[in-house]
Structure 1
Amino acid sequence: MGRFEDQEGIGSGYVRFLHDYLRVTNPNKNYEIFNRGIGGDRVTNLEERWQEDVIDLHPEVVSVSIGINDVWRQLDRPDMDQVTPDVFEDKLRKLLYEIRDKQIILMEPTVIEEDLNSEGNRRLREYVEIVRKLSLEFQTVLVPTHQVFLDYIKEDSGYALTTDGVHMNSAGNLLMAKTWIKAVEKQS
């Protein structure tokens, strides 16, 4: 979100919140944070750029948020080749295997529409379960963003987390960052 326009390449989304949180709570640590997220990407796109955007950077920690667009494209672009759950699992497993020697943080996909029973959220369940399964398999930190978003929606506050059911607004980005921080600190 906005990383191409940002001088630091961090953007204005949840990665910005994480960057700033880590910088101000640990001022003596020299964190170098790379945001390589690309809006609209699916696991197939991530696979295409994995070498350049992850492996070649030699990171100590890799945080992966993928899955929303793999389902969203089934709804908004049904005519294109789709990433089925089995393809999603196979490709994500392959990518995680390549970085198995790193600390890995896996984020559950958030939500598609702020409606618990939307078609997108029903389809998304299988992808969330795959992320959870792979988190166990690779012993990663699991960031339960899907569950936290569902819990928020159940509260029926009337305050949206997205601009259009998929893309986060500031509150949605803050909830993602807060959930990430809590999950990572719990594992520390």
Structure 2
Amino acid sequence: MTVQVPHGGRVLFIGDSITDAGRDRSCDDDLGSGYAMMAGAWFTARHPGHRATFVNRGISGDRVRDLRARWETDCLAHAPQVVSVLIGVNDTWRRYDQGDPTSVDGFARDYRHILEATRRLGARLILIEPFLIPLDDAKRAWRKDLGPKVDAVRRLAAEFDATLVAVDELFQAADVDGRVWTNDGVHLTPFGHALLAQQWLRAVTPTA
């Protein structure tokens, strides 16, 4: 199922550092240097007359609870027609680097809250799976925590009739050294961002 981007519509990307990608927060139109910028650029290059606009509201370090806290100002206030969400890896990461875990139930509860608010707005939803590209045994151990959160995102996508961008298995299945895609198992190289942008673009289509 693809999401139709209306003519002149606004697409909002939101999430953590993978979406943030170093964007200049003093410039509302800056999309950073990652998949959000690449996806917006390629969509516009393919459909220059469609006049869609793209907004990036990723913030490095965010967990789903942080998205919930800023959802009104950083998402709903922009009145987007399409909302693309990528969140979850920090909900796992904080368990291992700060001893501050996020339960699967808590993760799903906060995620459901933002999706319910977005559905009331009438926006179409794109949910990108959180993912991990483990380069060592320490990161591989994170799968125990992240896997159930990936499953929760898949269930929420079905529940809210959202388009799921499945990338967790995509990065794992790619028959190459994981260092092509990432330097630390989480943050993407330009090649990793390009792969994610390609997968995202398969999920959208312009309206006639």
TM-score by shorter chain over 0.5: yes
**Which of 104, 107, 110 is the equivalent residue of 1:91?**
110
1:3-152 matched pairs, under 5 angstroms: 3-4=23-24, 7=27, 8-78=29-99, 80=100, 82-100=101-119, 101-114=122-135, 118-152=140-174
How many pairs align? 182
Cα deviation for residue 171 of structure 1 reads 1.1
Query: Mind listing any 5+ residue stretches in structure 1 that lack a counterpart?
Result: none
When the two chains are superposed, the root-mean-square deviation of aligned CA atoms in Å is 2.0
Contact 2:134 2:178 in 1 (8 A): no
**Which residue pairs with 2:22 in the alignment?**
2
Determine what percentage of the aligned residue pairs are the same residue: 35
Check 1:130–1:179 CA distance in 2 against 1; reply closer, same or farther (3 A cut).
same
Query: Are 1:179 and 2:199 matched, yes or no?
Result: yes
SS at structure 1 position matched to 2:127: strand
TM-score, normalising length: structure 2: 0.81
How far apart are residue 36 of structure 1 and its match? 0.3
TM-score, length-scaled by structure 1: 0.89
| One-letter code aligned to 1:148 | L
Structure 1 residue 6 displacement after superposition:
8.3
Which amino acid in 2 is paired with 1:54? C
- Does the Cα contact within 8 Å between 1:15 and 1:35 map onto a contact in 2? yes
Kept in 2, the 8 Å contact 1:63–1:107? The answer is yes
Deviations 1:75-113 (A, max 9, x none): 1111x3x32111000000011011112110000002152
The higher relative CO (CA closer than 8 Å, separation ≥ 6) is in: 2
Higher strand share: 2
Q: Which runs of 5+ in 2 are unaligned?
A: 1-20
Runs of 4+ in structure 1 over 3 Å off: 5-8, 114-117, 156-159
Structure 2 CA distance for aligned equivalents of residues 84 and 173 of structure 1: 28
